Amino acid sequence: MNRLLQFWWQRTDRERRGLVAAALVLAAGIGYSLLWQPLEAARLDLAKNLPAREQALSTMRAQANELARLPNQPKAAPAAVDREALSRRAKAHGLTLAPAQGENLGAQRMSFHLPAAAFDRVLTFLEALRAEGGWQVGELRLAKVSPNIVNVDVVLIRE
- The mean pLDDT value of the chain amounts to 86
Percentage of the chain modeled with pLDDT above 70: 86
Q: Express each pLDDT in 134-150 by its tens digit.
A: 888 999 999 999 998 99
Would the pTM of this model clear 0.75, i.e. be above it? Answer: no
Give every residue of the chain whose pLDDT is below 70, as ranges: 71-82, 99-107, 159
Element (H, E) at 89: helix 83-92
pLDDT in tens, 86-109: 888 889 989 988 764 555 566 678
8 Å CB contact between 102 and 84:
no
CA distances from 76 to 59, 73, 79, 80, 107 (A): 27, 9, 9, 12, 11
